[in-house]
Amino acid sequence: MKGELLFFMQFFLSGLSMGSIYALVALGFVLIYKSTSILNLAQGEFLMVGAYFCLSLTIDFGLNFYASFAVTLIFSIVLGLLVERVVLRPLIGEPIISIIMVTLGLTYVLRGFVIMVWGNDIRQFNVFPQEPIDLWGVKLTYLYVWSMGISFFLLSVFALFFKYARTGIFMRAVADHQTAAQSMGISVKRVFAMSWCIAAVVSSIGGILVGNIAGVGVDLGYVGLKVLPAVIFGGLDSILGAIIGGLVVGILEFLSAGYLDPYIPAINEVFPFIVLVLVLMIKPYGLFGIEEIERV
């Protein structure tokens, strides 16, 4: 490959890899929204806390990266459960808007907690080799390839889980009709807890991956902000939509950086949002959002 195509592929693949991380975090968003109709604004902070926790284990405590990765996952399960139990369960039955406000409050609490424990500096992981792999001329660092691999693996695991595992079907049943699910013996509380757990886990995996790429800092919380358009883009309540939305946002971000940045600096930060607005003007439910099924 050479010339134009190579240039395109370079940015496309980097974008795809970043997008796969967004997709992972978007999955967490959608899961919570689908089963509890809460928009979890603290998703980005989950991601940041996960990244800091893993970094701290690796660097401050000298643990092997993979070991600290595993410990972080356990930590995020606990974090997810804790947030659900302490912050959200007491609010079941309250108006949705006040619960969303509470998640906004949660972002500040988590952010403050991180600054209190780990300080304000941006720190680096430096665990993956820096030299790039050459894929037919496209140069990608190990990190990008790994991110893509891990994200796609997890996304397929979740896709299969929701399609075939009974627990996955229970979760979708609760999302579809809460009272009916309850009348069939599905514990809504447990499903809520599970959604928060999965959301926390996928976010911290996303956080660790982004943290490896961009360094770990409080700014990681803004990744959550970037995932929001991905989620809305795909339609808030569609898992498939979230994944595609995540990929599209990642790819748009990198392609706009490649092609438009020389003319309009830092356009890559805004470009995905511009496309989002355009998409929503044409399809208000997002690309894959569930329109109410109406039998005629």
Partner 1 sequence: MLAVNNIEVIYDDVILVLKGLSLTVQDGQIVTLLGANGAGKTTTLKAISGLLKVEEGEVTDGTIEFFGKRIDHKAPEEIVKMGIFQVMEGRCVFENLTVHENLMAATRTLKDKKEIQRRYETVFHYFPHLKNLRGRLAGYLSGGEQQMLVIGRALMARTRLMLLDEPSLGLSPILVAEIFSILKRLNKEQQITMLLVEQNAHMALSIAEHGYVMENGKIVLDDDVEKLKENEDIKMFYLGLTERGTKRSYRDLKFYKRRKRWLT
Evaluate whether 37 touches 96 at the Cβ level (below 8 Å).
Answer: yes
Torsion sign (Cα): 283, 288, 294, 296: positive
CB of 165 to partner 1, least distance (A): 10
H-only helix segments in 37-64: 43-55
Exactly one of 63, 214, 255, 290 binds partner 1 (CB under 8 A); that residue is 290
Q: How far from chain centre, in Å, is Cα 56? A: 21
Size of the site for partner 1 (CB under 8 A): 21
148 lies in the binding site for partner 1 (CB under 8 A)? no
Closer residue to partner 1, CB minimum distance, 91 or 278 = 91
120 lies in the binding site for partner 1 (CB under 8 A)? no
Exactly one of 172, 240, 258, 275 binds partner 1 (CB under 8 A); that residue is 172
> Near partner 1 by CB under 8 A, which window of 80-88, 131-139, 253-261, 287-295?
287-295
93 lies in the binding site for partner 1 (CB under 8 A)? yes
Q: What is the DSSP letter of 57?
A: I
> Near partner 1 by CB under 8 A, which window of 5-13, 18-26, 62-70, 183-191?
183-191
Evaluate whether 25 touches 224 at the Cβ level (below 8 Å).
Answer: yes
186 lies in the binding site for partner 1 (CB under 8 A)? yes
d(CA 20, CA 17): 5
Evaluate whether 212 touches 125 at the Cβ level (below 8 Å).
Answer: yes
CB of 290 to partner 1, least distance (A): 6
Give the residue among 195, 48, 34, 30 at the shortest CA–CA distance from 108. Answer: 48
Closer residue to partner 1, CB minimum distance, 123 or 172 = 172
Closer residue to partner 1, CB minimum distance, 186 or 251 = 186
150 lies in the binding site for partner 1 (CB under 8 A)? no
> Near partner 1 by CB under 8 A, which window of 40-48, 79-87, 102-110, 185-193?
185-193
Where does residue 296 rank: exposed (0-12), middle (13-18), buried (19+ CB within 10 A)? exposed
Interacting residues toward partner 1 by CB under 8 A: 93, 166, 169-170, 172-173, 176-187, 290, 293, 295
